[in-house]
């Protein structure tokens, strides 16, 4: 590709004469100082570019003072100046000439680094010096003809747009002002020409850069990795800008025609769901998730590194326990809550949650929606399994919104491997994504709680107040159980649950087997309506005998006091008639909670 620099020698000489002796601080060139001193405002930059196109090489020489002496040259323009002094002194020690922008230049000078000049980031001669290919003679000739030097290293990071728009309410104009133009332009140019120009966007790469330069290495793989990181840096930045602009211009619309999810590697995991699968954990850096809480941003205070399955189970436990307003403990195994209880005394809630299914609870995840203090930590550490009264309960993870200093100290003493997580309550109104082969499914998060819906009585017998409270508790637990889901609960305590069965009756039977005799008078919640089977047979005419022989009747025969289900089946009337026959209260929620 030819390198074109437009020039009119007469005009160039005239403009150059007028600019000689003018200060090189770009913020004084054409406009008042911009908001970001490291890069000129768009108006100033466009004026500079227009003047450069008219005046050609004279402007390049007068305003940017780019070296054409053959000395290796670095361009530095940083918003985040972390380790800038280290980088500047390191480059200077290696004999590199440093050219910089206003704010960065001032910081370098304050650190005792000598500069070869100050530049405008949108100046054509800057990009000519970055994009020119050293193996193309016509590129080098064009540079020589116009007195433009080359850059060997470009170190740039961008205006803190992400931090600005997530720090609080800002005006649309202020958001637009914080969109970087010059920075991405230089980064992309340098990354494209990475064979000749090293591009650095992350201060953590400064040491490896200096080592590379010190050894005069020619490792193209290193250059390619830096180029990849540069393009990824700009892509993430553009993703944030795009997401913000979509929300500013499409209020209430959740599904844009296209969008990018910016993911950042948080950790490489030992393995995936199974030992033969490699895995990693990525944090979602979308603007919508800033401050949203959840397991991805949890602090790990103690224990082994998190595994793939640990993340899934901890997420399930935390999402479930965060739904409850009263002090609550939830125990999860393989992403299903196998025990849950709400009590004003959180110690009692913990004991009841474990007793709901102590076999499943062993090796599970315990989640609380209250601070873990000294007393609760002791109970977690010393509690014996209800199955034999002797074996200390073992857990993979404890997750809570916080810990007292003493509580954390005691809990750390339970096991060297126990993972102790501190998480913020998960946000609502999030976009839920799930991968399928060749695509993604997107939906609104399921945020409905009992307070958001109406429990409508369908049976002849109206539920008592305590029954309705049990039905709401069971319904909220069922929301977090894999379909087909059945939960039996009484006195704000899960007694049994059946999950993941393709046949709802089998889930019901599993739940009753776990609940035992305590199921009598309890509440039963189903995540979806009951597919009713009606059996009709004739013995002698005109006598006709009807039997339901399905999950609703089986629940009634086992002594259930109240059933909560969404309704919506063609045989809802039969479900009502069956409950009336056994004197069981039946309420419809109108809301289904499938979880696949």
Q: Tell me which residue has tokens 């049994």.
A: 496
Contact call for residues 191 and 229 (beta carbons, < 8 A): no
Q: Tell me which residue has tokens 């002849």.
A: 460
Q: Tell me which residue has tokens 């491997």.
A: 417
- Cα dist from 239 to 185, 234, 235, 245, 292, whole Å: 16, 8, 6, 10, 18
For the record, the structure tokens of 420 come out as: 């102790």
Other C-beta atoms lying within 10 Å of the C-beta of residue 108: 24
Phi, psi of 166 (to 5 degrees): -105, 0
Q: How would you classify the pairing of strands 535-538 and 419-422?
A: unpaired
The helix/strand count (H/E) of the chain reads as 21, 23
Decide if 334 is catalytic: yes
Cis amide prior to 525 (ω within 30 degrees): no
Contact call for residues 111 and 89 (beta carbons, < 8 A): yes
Q: Which of 14, 192, 412, 458 is labelled catalytic?
A: 192
**Strand-pair partners of 400:** 422
Decide if 480 is catalytic: no
Q: Which of 338, 333, 317 lies closest to 421 in space, CA to CA?
A: 317
Q: Which of 334, 412, 424, 458 is labelled catalytic?
A: 334
Contact call for residues 498 and 486 (beta carbons, < 8 A): yes
Contact call for residues 152 and 73 (beta carbons, < 8 A): yes
- Cα dist from 145 to 60, 61, 75, 150, 182, whole Å: 12, 12, 21, 13, 25
> What CA–CA distance (Å, rounded) separates 261 from 284?
7
Residues forming the active site: 192, 334
């Amino acid at each position: 590709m030819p390198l074109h620099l437009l020039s009119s020698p007469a005009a160039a000489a005239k403009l150059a004469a007028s600019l000689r002796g003018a200060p090189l601080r770009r913020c004084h060139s054409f406009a008042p100082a911009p908001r970001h001193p490291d890069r000129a405002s768009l108006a100033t930059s466009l004026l500079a570019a227009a003047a450069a196109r008219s005046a050609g090489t004279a402007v390049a020489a007068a305003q940017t003072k780019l070296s054409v002496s053959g000395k290796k040259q670095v361009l530095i323009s940083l918003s985040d100046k972390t380790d800038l002094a280290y980088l500047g002194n390191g480059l200077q020690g290696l004999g590199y000439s440093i050219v910089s922008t206003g704010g960065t230049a001032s910081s370098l000078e304050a650190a005792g680094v000598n500069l070869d000049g100050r530049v405008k980031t949108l100046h054509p001669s800057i990009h000519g010096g970055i994009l020119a290919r050293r193996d193309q003679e016509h590129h080098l000739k064009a540079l020589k003809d116009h007195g433009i030097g080359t850059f060997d290293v470009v170190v740039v990071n961008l205006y803190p747009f992400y931090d600005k728009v997530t720090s609080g309410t800002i005006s649309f104009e202020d958001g637009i002002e914080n969109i970087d133009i010059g920075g991405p332009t230089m980064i992309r140019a340098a990354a494209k020409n990475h064979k000749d120009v090293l591009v650095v966007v992350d201060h953590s790469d400064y040491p490896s850069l200096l080592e590379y330069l010190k050894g005069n290495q020619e490792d193209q793989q290193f250059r390619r990795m830096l180029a990849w990181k540069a393009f990824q840096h700009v892509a993430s930045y553009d993703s944030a800008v795009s997401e913000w602009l979509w929300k500013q211009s499409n209020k209430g619309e959740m599904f844009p025609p296209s969008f990018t999810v910016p993911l950042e590697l948080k950790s490489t995991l030992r393995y995936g769901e199974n030992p033969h699968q490699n895995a990693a954990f990525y944090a979602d850096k979308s603007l919508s998730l800033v401050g949203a809480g959840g397991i991805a941003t949890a602090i790990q205070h103690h224990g082994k590194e998190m595994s793939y399955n640990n993340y899934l189970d901890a997420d399930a436990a935390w999402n479930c326990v965060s739904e409850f307003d009263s002090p609550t403990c939830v125990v999860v195994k393989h992403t299903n809550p196998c025990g849950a209880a709400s009590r004003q005394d959180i110690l009692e809630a913990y004991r009841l949650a474990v007793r709901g299914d102590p076999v499943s609870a062993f090796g599970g995840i315990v989640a609380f929606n209250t601070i873990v203090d000294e007393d609760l930590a002791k109970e977690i550490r010393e509690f014996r399994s209800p199955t034999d009264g002797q074996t200390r309960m073992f857990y993979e993870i404890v997750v809570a919104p916080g810990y007292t200093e003493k509580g954390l100290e005691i809990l750390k003493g339970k096991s060297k491997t126990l993972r102790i997580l501190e998480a913020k309550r998960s946000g609502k109104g999030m976009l839920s994504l799930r991968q399928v082969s060749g695509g993604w499914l997107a939906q609104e998060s399921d945020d409905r709680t009992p307070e958001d819906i109406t429990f409508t009585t369908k049976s002849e017998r109206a539920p008592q107040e305590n029954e309705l409270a049990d039905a709401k508790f069971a319904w909220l637990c069922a929301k977090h159980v894999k379909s087909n889901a059945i939960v039996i609960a009484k006195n704000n305590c899960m007694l049994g649950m059946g999950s993941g069965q393709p046949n709802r009756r089998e889930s019901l039977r599993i739940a009753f087997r776990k609940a035992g005799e305590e199921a009598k008078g309890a509440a039963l919640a189903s995540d979806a309506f009951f597919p009713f089977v009606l059996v009709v047979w004739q013995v002698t005419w005109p006598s006709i005998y009807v039997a339901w022989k399905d999950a609703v009747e089986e629940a009634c025969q086992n002594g259930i006091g109240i059933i909560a289900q969404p309704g919506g089946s063609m045989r809802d009337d039969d479900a009502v008639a069956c409950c009336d026959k056994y004197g069981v209260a039946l309420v419809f929620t109108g809301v289904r909670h499938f979880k696949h």
